[in-house]
Amino acid sequence: MTRRARRDFSTRAFLEGVVDALWLPAWMSAMSAMDEARERLPRNVTRQTAEPAPISARRAATRFMTALRGLNHVTARELWRRASAADGREVDPEELGYYLTMQAQDHGVGWEDRHERFQVRLPSVETYVTGSPGHWHLTLSGAGRAHRERLATEMDRSRTRRRRRGPALSPELQARVSRKIRLLRREGKPADVAAAIAYSMARAGRLTARGGYKRVRRRP
C-alpha cells in the first residue's frame, strides 16, 4: 500500500485502503499459483506495480465498509475519530482502512502493530480471485459474520503472539501463508490451527508458492 501524508478524514481515502488490502494479497496469491504468471510478479507488490483492482474488488470494498458500519453502528469517519483520539493525533484514513481490512482477513498484521487500541468490531472475511491476468474477478465472503477482533480482548495478547512469530513476513511470503490457511480451512482445519501450521511452515522456509511443503534434501 502506498501511504499518503494526509491526516484529515476522507471516505475515498479510507475506501482506497480497503481496496488495497482486499486486492493486493489476493492478486499476488492468484499470480503465484499460475506457472506462466509467476515470473511476472513484481518483487514489491504495491498499487503501482500490481494490476489495477477490478470493479469486483471495489464492490467488495464497499460491501466490507457496509459490514463495518453495521457492526459498529457508526460511520467510517467516527472510527477514524476513535483511532485518532487513541493515538493522540489525526491518523491517516487510508492506512486505517488498509490495516483494519488486513486484520479482518486474519493476514497476521493489524492496526495495533503501529498504533494504539481503540473500540472497533471487525467482520471476518476471506477473498478469492478467479480468472486470468487482465480478467480477474474478486469474491468477498463472510462480510456478514461478526467477531470481535484483536482490537478487543484478543488484542491484549496479540503483541505476545507477534513476538513469537518473529519479524513481519514479506508480502510474497504473507500471500503464501494466506493461501495455505485457506487450503487448510477447506480441509476442515480450525482457523487457529490452520494459521499455526501455515506460519510454522513459512518460518521454516518450507512453504511453496502453491501452499505445499518444500522438502529439503539432506546431505549424504
Residue spans per domain, the chain: 11-149, 169-214
Report pTM.
0.64
Say what the pLDDT of residue 157 is.
46
Say what the pLDDT of residue 149 is.
39
Q: What is the DSSP string of 128-158?
A: EEEEETTEEEEEEE-TT-EE--TTSGGGGGH
d(CA 146, CA 59): 19
d(CA 28, CA 81): 32
Bridge partners of 140, per DSSP, are: 127
Residue 202 grid cell: 513459512
Residue 146 grid cell: 461478526
Say what the pLDDT of residue 143 is.
64
Consecutive sets of 10 residues in the chain, 220 residues long: mean pLDDT of each? 60 96 91 78 87 95 93 94 94 95 90 93 90 90 53 43 55 82 79 75 80 64
Say what the pLDDT of residue 188 is.
77
Say what the pLDDT of residue 53 is.
95
Q: Which of 94, 99, 82, 100 is nearest to 5 (CA)?
A: 94
In 76-188, where does DSSP find H-type helix? 76-87, 93-104, 158-165, 171-186
